[in-house]
A = this chain, B = another copy of it.
């Protein structure tokens, strides 16, 4: 990758400093902080970091960068898993975390208007007294702007949908600094092209999100959780398929393979059998939740499920989901001296157990320890591949495993990413997934960002 002309970036920095003053930071410490990622991508240093506070400031910065041809990459919580926030061409990194106000909560309409640096935990903290909650939960305490840009989802998407389903409207600053609003606070609309949908999942390559109107949901009257284990992944998946077909409203339905069960036993002092497990959660009325859980127990047993265990108290439930959310760290703890490469395919559920078994066999045949976990109700699963820290050969093996999982997902009518996005990691598979539609995405990029300043190097060719 070649760097843009240094002179452009210097001029852009000087002009932005006039607008932002001390909020444009060029210290190596701050730049280094904004060069890192949670995945295996090498560091990428921005030339300066702009701590923006308003859409107007974002607009001014973009207008200057557009003028000077200077790259601009948005950065918020920094939890992206495919290097989406890495400024691989340098330029200006927009730190969005000071735009962190919950502007308005409309309880009757069940929506909230927030700035992009608000994190999901912060929003739910704010909502505590309202009886409402924001549902999308990718695990990490990500920013809502980042989650929108990545089209994130997580464990509750089965019941409440992904970011695509939970955003009503956006304010977006376009590459040239123009500010537009997409959507409205209405729950549905047939009014023209779905521009909201165009920006959700665009990873900062079409515009910078400066405000989101997100949907909220009512806190369920009752919540219950359960754990059940199976002798084989396929039996777990068949249970999932039967459950969905029956229209049973399960809120969470997470598959953990034997290796994860062992890792959780190791880190969380659990005593899970050495078998694949489903972790389940039900939301509804008191009687509804009981009915659903009982139906599900029967369905699981019909498919050979055993050791069905209720988690009715809040304490037990919290312990269960703490373990689930800690699965990543539990694998790391079980494999000291190694770091993770995480995959993220999503396939039609009818092909899921075949895909998971193929992934597990492929991992077992490699030199690399790994485990599989999945939001199986959605057909989405991750493999966590543990490569020796700093070992390039190991990393290449893991990348090969990941690539084959993606290729198998495509051959099954699925997608190379269910929720982590494209960024740097999946770009070379985009043509395989989308064919000529990838070129159409490139045309859209060219339309929205003719100078290629917005998060260059990501998603499109």
Nearest CB in chain B: distance from A182 CB, A: 6
Is A6 an interface residue when CB atoms closer than 8 A count as contact? no
Encode contact with B along A152-190: 1 for CB under 8 Å, 0 otherwise.
Answer: 110001000010110000000010001111101111111
Measured between beta carbons, the chain B residues less than 8 angstroms from A379 are 109, 186-187
Nearest CB in chain B: distance from A309 CB, A: 23
Measured between beta carbons, the chain B residues less than 8 angstroms from A200 are 194
Beta-carbon contacts under 8 Å, A376-408 to B: 378-380
Give the size of the chain A interface in residues (CB under 8 angstroms): 93
Measured between beta carbons, the chain B residues less than 8 angstroms from A157 are 188
Contacts A181-B437, A218-B246; is A201 near B193 (CB within 8 Å)?
yes
Q: What CA separation (Å) do A410 and B336 show in the bound complex?
A: 58
Measured between beta carbons, the chain B residues less than 8 angstroms from A447 are 443-444, 447
Measured between beta carbons, the chain B residues less than 8 angstroms from A185 are 347-348, 413-414
| CB atoms of A190 and B422 under 8 A apart | yes
Measured between beta carbons, the chain B residues less than 8 angstroms from A348 are 106, 108-109, 111, 185-187
Cross-interface CB contact of A434 among B108, B191, B241, B349, cutoff 8 Å: B191
| CB atoms of B195 and A437 under 8 A apart | yes
| CB atoms of A188 and B153 under 8 A apart | yes
- Nearest chain B residue, comparing its CB with the CB of A149: B190
Q: What CA separation (Å) do A380 and B182 show in the bound complex?
A: 19
> Among A8-16, A28-36, A253-261, A285-293, which stretch is in contact with chain B?
A285-293
- Nearest chain B residue, comparing its CB with the CB of A130: B245
| CB atoms of B380 and A437 under 8 A apart | no
Most buried by B among A157, A283, A344, A447: A447
Q: What CA separation (Å) do A244 and B174 show in the bound complex?
A: 35
Nearest CB in chain B: distance from A443 CB, A: 6
| CB atoms of A202 and B193 under 8 A apart | yes
Query: What would be 14 A-B contacts, judged by CB atoms less than 8 Å apart?
Result: A152-B190, A179-B436, A180-B437, A185-B348, A185-B414, A186-B378, A187-B348, A187-B379, A188-B418, A189-B346, A194-B197, A194-B200, A217-B247, A288-B288
